[in-house]
Structure 1
């Protein structure tokens, strides 16, 4: 299992991760570090633990908003798929009606043609 070292708020942390996830974990740590730095800039020295908790809450809030957006998009996609399926069924039904109508018209033309041939 690979191990990486990340720095958050000037402190280094050694972490294990799954193979191939190293860059992703480094990026996440950089995001947390940036959030802590932003909070430190805004609020000053209010304590490392408090800054870390605030950064975690900010990230959790963004995740919550993203989850809500994903849920809304999934619901919208489900509705669109339902409409698409209804339209597909309607189109298939319309094709059946058209085929039946065309068959009926064809039969009438054949009857007319037969009468015309007999009338010759």
Structure 2
């Protein structure tokens, strides 16, 4: 299992990850480091633990918002798929009715033609 070293808030941490996940873990650690730096810039020296907890809450809030947005988009997609399926079903019904009407009209024309041909 690969191990990498990341730096967060000036402290280094050795971490294990799955094969091929090294760059992803480094990116995540850089994001956490950025959040802590942002908080430190806003609040000053309020304690490492408090900064870490605030950064975790910020990240969790962003995750929560992303999940909420994803659920909203999924609901819209589901509604669109349902509406499209209903529309396609309606179109199929309309085509069937048109074909039936056309068949009935053709039969009527044939009957009229037969009567006209028989009357001559």
Question: Partners in 2 of 1:56 and 1:34 — Cα distance?
Answer: 12
* 2:46 counterpart residue number: 46
* 2:98 counterpart residue number: 98
Query: Gapped runs of 5+ residues in structure 1?
Result: none
TM-score normalised over the length of structure 1: 0.93
Q: Secondary structure at the match of 2:38?
A: helix
Q: How do 1:1-120 and structure 2 match up within 5 A?
A: 1-120=1-120
Deviations 1:55-111 (A, max 9, x none): 110000011111111111111111111111111111111111011001001111211
CA RMSD of aligned residues (A): 1.2
Deviations 1:22-60 (A, max 9, x none): 111111110000000011111111111111111110000
Query: Gapped runs of 5+ residues in structure 2?
Result: none
Question: Partners in 2 of 1:18 and 1:7 — Cα distance?
Answer: 19
The runs of at least 4 aligned residues of structure 1 exceeding 6 Å deviation read none
Aligned residues: 120
